[in-house]
């Protein structure tokens, strides 16, 4: 059966996450990964790095970014299973790249399991290019692919980290 794509009513609002979003973020995490990040890890990301959530109006997706000097890293992006293939993942990846640009990063790196077809296709669709493979990175036989996207015009992209306003089409 052909999957039904969400319509315009599926538009989401993206905003910076706070500790009050932890329950919802953990719900996303647990729906996506069996041995994923702990609540403490997410709390640390929210406190120390940049975590954004997509809301519709409840939290339906999350992205985590970090930056050191001019290099940003996309650490995680998760979309709730019933909201996938509606453009939300792409919206959050683009948000992450815009956040990196507004923080003077000139490139964004990420690593992804070579077996994660959906994530690989998403990152390619967002302009990330494969750099190299880390063999057995996650576990024996589970390689990581490192991908990179340049961020042209880094400092010229305005983005208020407290109140972001990207929306899915």
CB 96 within 8 A of CB 74: yes
Give the residue carrying structure tokens 């809301």.
55
Candidate segments 8-16, 70-78, 132-140, 158-166, binder of ligand COA by CB under 6 A:
70-78
Least gap, CB of 78 to ligand COA (angstroms): 4
Residue nearest to ligand COA (CB): 89
In this complex, which beta carbon is closest to ligand COA, that of residue 67 or of residue 154? 67
In this complex, which beta carbon is closest to ligand COA, that of residue 90 or of residue 154? 90
In this complex, which beta carbon is closest to ligand COA, that of residue 129 or of residue 160? 129
How many residues touch ligand COA under the rule CB under 6 A: the total is 20
In this complex, which beta carbon is closest to ligand COA, that of residue 63 or of residue 101? 63
Q: How far is it, in rounded angstroms, from Cα 44 to Cα 40?
A: 6
Backbone φ and ψ for 81, nearest 5 degrees, come out as -50, -40
Backbone φ and ψ for 101, nearest 5 degrees, come out as -60, -40
Could you write out the DSSP letters of every residue in 13-46? EEEE--GGGHHHHHHHHHHH-SS---HHHHHHHH
Contact pick of 122, 144, 145, 151 for ligand COA (by CB under 6 A): 122
Nearest residue to 3 (alpha-carbon basis) of 86, 117, 69: 86
Least gap, CB of 36 to ligand COA (angstroms): 9
Using DSSP's 3-state secondary structure scheme, residue 143 falls into: strand
Within residues 75-104, the interface with ligand COA by CB under 6 A covers 76-79, 84-90
Positions in the binding site for ligand COA (CB under 6 A)? 32, 76-79, 84-90, 112, 116-119, 121-122, 125
């Amino acid at each position: 059966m052909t999957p039904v794509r969400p319509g315009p009513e599926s538009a989401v609002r993206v905003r910076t996450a706070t500790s009050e979003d932890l329950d919802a973020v953990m719900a996303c995490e647990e729906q996506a990964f069996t041995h994923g990040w702990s609540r403490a890890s997410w709390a640390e990301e929210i406190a120390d790095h940049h975590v954004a959530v997509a809301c519709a109006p409840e939290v339906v997706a999350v992205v985590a970014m970090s930056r050191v000097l001019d290099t940003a890293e996309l650490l995680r992006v998760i979309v709730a299973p019933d909201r996938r293939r509606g453009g939300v993942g792409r919206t959050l990846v683009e948000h992450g790249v815009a956040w990196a640009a507004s923080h003077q990063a000139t490139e964004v790196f990420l690593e992804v399991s070579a077996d994660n077809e959906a994530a690989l296709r998403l990152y390619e669709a967002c302009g990330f290019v494969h750099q190299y493979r880390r063999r057995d990175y996650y576990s024996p036989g589970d390689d990581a692919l490192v991908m990179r996207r340049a961020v042209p015009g880094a400092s010229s992209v305005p983005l208020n980290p407290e109140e972001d306003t990207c929306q899915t089409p």
